[in-house]
Amino acid sequence: MTPLPLCIEVVYATPRQLVVRQIDLPLGSTVADALQSVAAEPPFNQLTLSQHSVGVFGQVCETTRALSDGDRVEVYRELQMDAKAARLKRATEQRSS
C-alpha cells in the first residue's frame, strides 16, 4: 500500500496580498522540499527563498525541518521597521501634534 502524501500549505503575505498554495508531498519531506515545489510559481518565483526566514505555524525553523500532514510553511518578509522603533516614532509624532 502506498503511503498517503502530506498535505502542506505554503504561505507568503505582502501588505496587499495573501498567497496560499496547497501542495502534496511524500512522507519525509522537509520545509526545503515544500519551498522547492512552489519556487516556480508567482510570487515565489520573484523571491530569493534562501534569503527569507521560514517557519511552520509561526515558529521560525530551519529548512531541514521535517513536515507533518497539515503543516503550514510560512515565508517571512523582512521587517520594514523594528517594533520598538515604530512605537517610538508614533509616540514622537503624537507628542509633536
Predicted TM-score (pTM) of this structure? 0.79
Contact 66, 35 (CB under 8 A): no
Going from N- to C-terminal start, the domains of the chain cover: 6-96
User: CATH assignment of 6-96?
Assistant: 3.10.20.30
CA angle 34, 39, 40 (to 5 degrees): 135
Q: For 45-92, what is each residue's pLDDT tens digit?
A: 998 888 899 999 999 999 999 999 999 999 998 877 777 887 888 888
Instruction: Give me the phi and psi of 11, to 5 degrees please.
Output: -125, 140
Q: How far apart are CA 2 and CA 47, in angstroms?
A: 34
Residue 3 has pLDDT above 80, yes or no: no
For residues 23 and 38, the answer to whether their CB atoms sit within 8 Å is yes
The amino acid sitting at 30 is T
**Model confidence pLDDT, tens digit, residues 19-35:** 999 999 999 999 999 99
pLDDT beyond 60 at 1 = no
Grid coordinates standing for 11?
504561505
